[in-house]
Structure 1
């Protein structure tokens, strides 16, 4: 285990002493915290108490909101850490726990958005698949539990390793800002860990999500009204924006920084730190996903803010039931439209 600052590169030491950067990151975290707690608090209230029935899509949205609220609750600790000049004084266990919350939010969000995209794809592009399955809500709950289990099992080293790092010459103890080689037992273990994060938990879901939304837009472009297609495009744009703006930079830089730090004694620490900051923005954008993905959520929100409701013809066919994979109503509605044409 490395326990001295002599092996830290100058860029990392410089960042720890850069007050302006610390304040700027703290301000971003403060803004994200307020938007996160207000937006996702309202979303959770709408999804749990005002949205019925609790379809599979709603269950996925509740799961996504839960991870966002957990991040919002953890951010004040990160803000305090930044404002104290990267000094962590809450102990090793709390450092590991809050780090786990950060990365669990990211990867559970990635997997949940992939699940929502598959839901839209199967309901709109493949309406006949799994139409006879009755326990769609149970499948959604099991899927959410599987996501949490997968992410927590991959991130398990974060809970079993001391993520703090003492820097005597600066008089600070950092929290997950200095990577330790002994967090994992071997180079192979590190390779497996980084590969799983970058490719299994990010790149694969990103490819699946992109495929699903492109297919949905193409399908609606042929069979649906312009308003339906426009809403599908907005939903796809927001989801892909979250991936490219929030998740992609952090995963790419985490992989690159880890390799450089572990094997070449170099780093991209400044860029990685900023990308971690931007990764939290996903919790502010997720409520927009609910708005475009669920007609019921959209109508309830419009009622609260006294906005006029849109006409029923302006809603997506899939939103008539808004359930996992397909519904007879959505399929029959498509047949009825084709017959009228």
Structure 2
């Protein structure tokens, strides 16, 4: 996002007129949309209808899957917008919805991953806490509602402002690529807004997540079998990969871009826009997190993937049993 003044900065104008970057990001969005809908559609079906009991981790995963599917359904609008030369034709309300979907997906995903890591920490490192299953389920549901409430409260300025901006010299109307300075009253308000996004919704959850997984791995290294320890390490690796590949670049560049823009008149807009594109990749990687985080999800997925081979194996076993039975009858005869 850039801020408008009497004249747009060169970085913003360059990005809006760069056809190659627009096409490259659109191609990434097309691939992400396809993988997102297929992977998260299957995940949601498994989590809702084929996985029980609904443990806290499963509840958090269902919440995460819904946010991922939301971004999957919103991306085609972003693709059309970019291929149309950054010209938004669907009005300010749809622009606000699209922007909210992008950012709620990112920050709800971050908070949900933190919640999954806390649940695993409590279950493995502190098993005596929250032992009652019903109590843990209620806490998980309330936690999901609190996540959405926190994210929407931080992003409230995006819901109350017209995020479209007309650029007569380019004959286009942008959506969230150029923000009005009067969206917030002063520089301090802008700094507080971005600080809340970067530090409250990203850095703090990131630190909590690292602490929980490091504690889990240390506990399992002392007490568990190699297979369980290996799964915990793979899960930690997948979560850290999502954070470092998808979330960290965008939030770091958002902070740097804001500081440079507000206090030095410079811009990192092109890099920030590309990092926003990369942040959507998390919706493709989340199903792998479900696979390593949930034993029930892992078992159901394996059943579906191996259904045909299992049927063949069962048939071979039946044939072997029949052959053995026939042989024993022949011996008796």
Q: TM-score, normalised by structure 1?
A: 0.87
Unaligned runs of 5+ in 2: 311-333
Q: Pairwise CA RMSD of aligned residues?
A: 1.7
CA distance in 2, matches of 1:221, 1:4: 54
Number of the residue aligned with 1:327: none
Partner of 1:52, secondary structure, is coil
User: 2:241 matched to 1:238?
Assistant: no
Indicate the SS of the match to 1:204. Answer: helix
CA distance 1:123–1:4, shift in 2 (3 Å): closer
Indicate how the Cα distance of structure 1 residues 112 and 3 shifts in structure 2: closer, same or farther if over 3 A, else same.
closer
Shift of 1:185: 1.6
| Counterparts of 2:13 and 2:133, CA distance in 1 | 57
**Mapped contact 2:4–2:181 kept (Cα < 8 A):** no
User: How many Å apart are 1:3 and its aligned residue?
Assistant: 10
For 2:271 and 2:127, the matched residues in 1 are separated by 44
- Counterpart of 1:289 in structure 2 is 289
* Distance across 2 between alignment mates of 1:212 and 1:292: 16
Is the Cα–Cα contact under 8 Å of residues 32 and 281 in structure 1 kept in the other structure?
yes
Give, in angstroms, the shift of residue 301 of structure 1: 0.5
- 1:85 maps to 85
Report the equivalent of 1:10.
10
Distance 1:182 1:142, change over 3 A: same
Indicate the structure (1 or 2) with the bigger Cα radius of gyration.
2
* Equivalence for 2:98: 98
More helix by share: 2
| 1:127-160 C-alpha deviation (Å, 9 max, x unpaired) | 1122247421111100000000110011011011
Unaligned runs of 5+ in 1: 310-341
* CA deviation vs aligned residue, 1:188-212 (integer Å, no higher than 9, x gap): 2212211111111100000000000
Query: TM-score scaled by structure 2?
Result: 0.89
**Residue 149 of structure 2 corresponds to which residue in structure 1?**
149
Matches within 5 A, 1:317-336: none
Measured after TM superposition, the shift of residue 5 of structure 1 is 7.2
Give, in whole Å, the separation in 2 of the partners of 1:6 and 1:83: 27
Q: Is the 8 A contact 1:220 1:229 kept in 2?
A: yes
